[in-house]
A and B are shown apart, each in its own frame.
Chain A
């Protein structure tokens, strides 16, 4: 009831505007999800009935299942590595004077504003020069570089709010430096660390450009989808797309919940 009353106070043009945005944003997604359950290979209305045939198809398709495995490995590795690196970097940066800190953060944020296409091509050329073959590992390394700034941003914002005098209180009670970190700092920043890890996983799961240039034979899920769109509009990509959508939005959702709970 309360909530309804609050909605009534919103002027109707705003509601219309937000509605239109949501429609344009989510209509394509809705269509993908809808046709992933279509019983006919035709991707057009009228809708002829529900079936799980496309899901059956992708989960029995070795190529797709392998790609899912690779994408999962990439997401988990990227998440873990960026969370650890981001935490260490954040702890290193937080004690710096604000000028040095600004400079360090500026350089650390460069990958975020760098065009992904240039970065991916550069990375591919670089790998070739080094004689490193294109592989899943090569892609993961690139994805780590790409998502690290996001993780660092979340973690350093959290550390900025962390009261380091709590560490003094722990030291005063007899805790060594590492013990104080493990029992005080870590538990307090953990929601942000986990949240940013999930964010990095979501970024990795549907990452396309770096994978396209560096994965070689180790095709991840987005690459498989791209391949199938290219050849013919295969209805199974709707099912793959829906799986990807569910996984990434679940990760993003949990991530947002974790980081906002922490900032309470």
Chain B
């Protein structure tokens, strides 16, 4: 509580965090620094340790090893009610016996903020999140989306040094979820509060975040901007988890003085790290692949097995020498019927390096 905001330190630092439940490790040697005012997402599959990490930041779980700093102050041992961060729970956890206004004012009242100030700040925050009209309703008489907003207001009204959100939109329907994603982002930008956002929805993470941390099996695999994560995944898991992927192996050879991967007799670009004489795993995203008439030089050849119309895109399944590839093209492009022979190619910078193939 005595911690004075110090904007020169990172908002949150996790150093060498280990956490196990009994024998089962939930978080393994995690280092992470989150900057002031950043929208940071933790993304990973179910059970990878996202919630555990967030709860350690909130002070509901304590690491077995490592330390946690908020604004440069060590809070590793500080319990939740004395940390200047607030958590938005996945199931909102609004107090059902209180009105919206009392829910939102709860934290301020606990901290003995004067009555008049509580009223002002609560009203202002209810307007900010767009539930001013429901201030005097009981919290259990709201729709899911409204409850979500109240939960957000209840946390933000305390002006936390960081706001922690655990899959806050997962209970909403798709349409509302999309709208709330944009709204959350704009509220975050307006208030300048550091957000740590847990999700297993990669699209959501890409859309909202300044930076994303990808977790799997208790480990943080890569931290980067959405562009970095999507375009240059550090690791096969990241590449596969974020976005769709066509992964296959190529033979690395010197072709006409250049190191190339050879597939089906045609040379394709390989990462600069690839060494000749080895088999290399590479990947290309479906939307980075181009599909055109058969017979093109320096391309893969295949036959369309399926064509799906997705509204804004055409999605092809193409049978090739390296297996079935998924290719996406704009809906305005020439449609290639199932059965027709096609060529598939891609730009050099579309290649994602997955390392040497293990035999």
How far is A184 from B79 in the complex, measured between Cα atoms in Å? Answer: 19
Min CB distance A89 to B, Å, is 23
- A165-B89, A165-B91, A176-B81 known; A170+B106 contact, CB < 8 A: yes
Total interface residues on A, CB under 8 Å, equals: 17
Residue of A nearest to B84 (CB): A174
Contact of A173 among B79, B91, B97, B107 (CB under 8 A): B107
Contact of A174 among B89, B94, B96, B110 (CB under 8 A): B110
Contact of A172 among B58, B91, B95, B96 (CB under 8 A): B58
- Are the CB atoms of A168 and B110 closer together than 8 Å? no
One digit per residue, 1 when the CB lies within 8 angstroms of any chain B CB and 0 when it does not, for chain A 161-199 equals 001011011111111100100011001100000000000
- A168-B60, A168-B80 known; A174+B111 contact, CB < 8 A: yes
- Are the CB atoms of A175 and B81 closer together than 8 Å? yes
Contact of B158 among A168, A173, A176, A188 (CB under 8 A): A173
How far is A148 from B185 in the complex, measured between Cα atoms in Å? Answer: 53
Min CB distance A7 to B, Å, is 32
Contacts of B110 in A (CB 8 A): 173-175, 179
How far is A166 from B95 in the complex, measured between Cα atoms in Å? Answer: 7
**Is B154 part of the binding interface, using a Cβ–Cβ cutoff of 8 Å?**
yes
- Are the CB atoms of A173 and B60 closer together than 8 Å? no
How far is A176 from B111 in the complex, measured between Cα atoms in Å? Answer: 11
- Are the CB atoms of B97 and A172 closer together than 8 Å? no
- Are the CB atoms of A171 and B97 closer together than 8 Å? no
Min CB distance B81 to A, Å, is 5
- Are the CB atoms of B97 and A187 closer together than 8 Å? yes
Contacts of B80 in A (CB 8 A): 168, 171-172
Min CB distance A167 to B, Å, is 9
- Are the CB atoms of A174 and B81 closer together than 8 Å? yes
One digit per residue, 1 when the CB lies within 8 angstroms of any chain A CB and 0 when it does not, for chain B 302-330 equals 00000000000000000000000000000
28 pairs, CB–CB < 8 Å, chain A vs chain B: A165-B89, A165-B91, A165-B93, A166-B93, A166-B95, A166-B96, A168-B60, A169-B87, A169-B89, A170-B95, A170-B106, A171-B60, A171-B79, A171-B80, A172-B58, A172-B60, A172-B81, A173-B106, A173-B155, A174-B81, A174-B82, A174-B158, A175-B110, A176-B81, A179-B110, A183-B106, A187-B97, A188-B97
Not counting A166-B95, A168-B60, a sample of 7 additional A-B residue pairs whose C-beta atoms are within 8 angstroms of each other reads A165-B93, A168-B93, A172-B58, A173-B155, A175-B106, A175-B110, A188-B96
